[in-house]
Amino acid sequence: MAGKPTLGSVAKEAGVSIPTVSQVMRGTGRISEQTRRKVLQAAKKLHYVPDSRAAAMRSGENREIGFVINQISNPFNAEVIFGVSDLLEADGYLVSVLDARDDTQRQGRHLEAFIRNGRGGLLWLPALDTPAETFSLLRAHSIPVVTFLRRTEMGGFDHVGIRNAEATVCATRHLIERGHRHIAYLGGDIMTSVRRERIDGYTTALAAANLGPPIIWDCQDNKLAGLMAMQALRLAHPDVTGVVCNGDTVALGACLALQRDGLVPGEALSIVGFDDIQDAAVATPPLTTMAVSPYELGRRLARVLLERIREPNAPVTTSEISAELVVRSTTGSVASD
């Protein structure tokens, strides 16, 4: 079996020197158009791919970015990744995505792998209970880092997140203004900082309207869990007429639970999601939600990292966006007695 193509084999095929091939690959030097075409044709014929790690060592610049996230299967995360990738790839970067699944040991292995392979920057949703030494590790290697969604006091890194409590205050008030007096919070089974902030917003709105006690119903953040949790919630609390959900996937599952019982979301019971993933607008019925535009959020995350790479000594920044209530068909008014 022949060895992998190298600068030398491309130079031999093209009939030029190795330095000439190197200059063509890097787009440098005064090379004639005829020679450039000859080298590129030889490289294509031999399936030559430049070694980006060697190029990074020569130039001091690495064009590969790592993204450690939790639950890639969640449509919200998938749309964020699309936004990140589109912006960074347009700027000449390659994005590698790994799923830590909220496991600190798995996360540690991913981060160490990125460090060993010399990533030029890191986007990171820290796992729950990430130890202090993980932050120390990243600081020791001077990697440009932007944390995502879960803000931490230990990092000293740039951060992009959402004003979660503000959003769920708005979602809960929306239901209260439509006459709902028994409102539950559905979704999430781990008390992350994001979920805590969202529950705080929900309970704050209830207290301001002299409603309560709060009903907080745990479940994993996926459709099937949302469906099953909604069935259990209705059995345990038949008086609930409105539900604020931890995310759109849970909300869509909750809507399916009502439909399986022959009920119409927005009429029998009102449901508000969170995120505004693409499925929210095309669901039947369309889902009322707190929109954060995941794709655009991903692009913002990528822009913050690029700014950090270009200005490594700039002050640390925190960027948090406000969610916007998008009223569709799954919320309605409570019928008068």
What is the CATH number for 12?
Answer: 1.10.260.40
Does a structural domain hold residue 69?
Answer: yes
User: Do 302 and 155 belong together in one domain?
Assistant: yes
pLDDT, the chain, mean = 92
User: Do 239 and 228 belong together in one domain?
Assistant: yes
User: Do 134 and 187 belong together in one domain?
Assistant: no
pLDDT of residue 57: 43
Distance CA 123, CA 145 (A): 6
Strands (DSSP E) found in the chain:
64-69, 94-99, 121-124, 145-148, 158-162, 183-186, 215-217, 242-245, 270-275, 288-291, 318-321, 324-326
User: Do 242 and 302 belong together in one domain?
Assistant: no
* pLDDT tens sequence across 44-94: 888 877 765 555 545 446 789 999 999 999 999 999 999 999 999 999 899
Question: pLDDT-based confidence at 138, cuts 50/70/90?
Answer: very high
Does a structural domain hold residue 326?
Answer: no
User: Do 197 and 310 belong together in one domain?
Assistant: no
pLDDT of residue 52: 54
User: Do 81 and 35 belong together in one domain?
Assistant: no
- The mean pLDDT value for 210-237 works out to 97
User: Do 151 and 299 belong together in one domain?
Assistant: yes
Does a structural domain hold residue 334?
Answer: no
Does a structural domain hold residue 336?
Answer: no
User: Do 88 and 156 belong together in one domain?
Assistant: yes
pLDDT of residue 280: 98
Structural domain boundaries enclosing 210 = 164-293
Does a structural domain hold residue 55?
Answer: no
Q: Which amino acid is at 34?
A: Q
Side-chain-side CA neighbours of residue 186 (13 Å): 34
Does a structural domain hold residue 2?
Answer: no
pLDDT of residue 188: 96
Grouping H, G, I as helix, E, B as strand and the rest as coil, residue 146 is: strand
Helices (H), 127-163: 132-140
Does a structural domain hold residue 56?
Answer: no
User: Do 69 and 144 belong together in one domain?
Assistant: yes
Helix, strand, coil in percent for the chain, rounding step 5: 45, 15, 35
pLDDT at residue 161 tops 70: yes
Question: pLDDT-based confidence at 1, cuts 50/70/90?
Answer: very low
Tell whether the torsion through CA atoms of 296, 299, 301 and 307 is positive or negative: negative
Q: What is the pTM of this model?
A: 0.84
In percent, the amount of the chain with pLDDT more than 90 equals: 77
Distance CA 8, CA 14 (A): 10
Number of structural domains (the chain) is 3
Does a structural domain hold residue 331?
Answer: no
* pLDDT tens sequence across 174-196: 999 999 999 999 999 999 999 99
How many C-beta neighbours within 10 Å does residue 186 have? 26
Q: Which amino acid is at 209?
A: A
* pLDDT tens sequence across 97-118: 999 999 999 999 999 988 888 7
User: Do 70 and 135 belong together in one domain?
Assistant: yes
pLDDT of residue 30: 85
User: Do 152 and 171 belong together in one domain?
Assistant: no
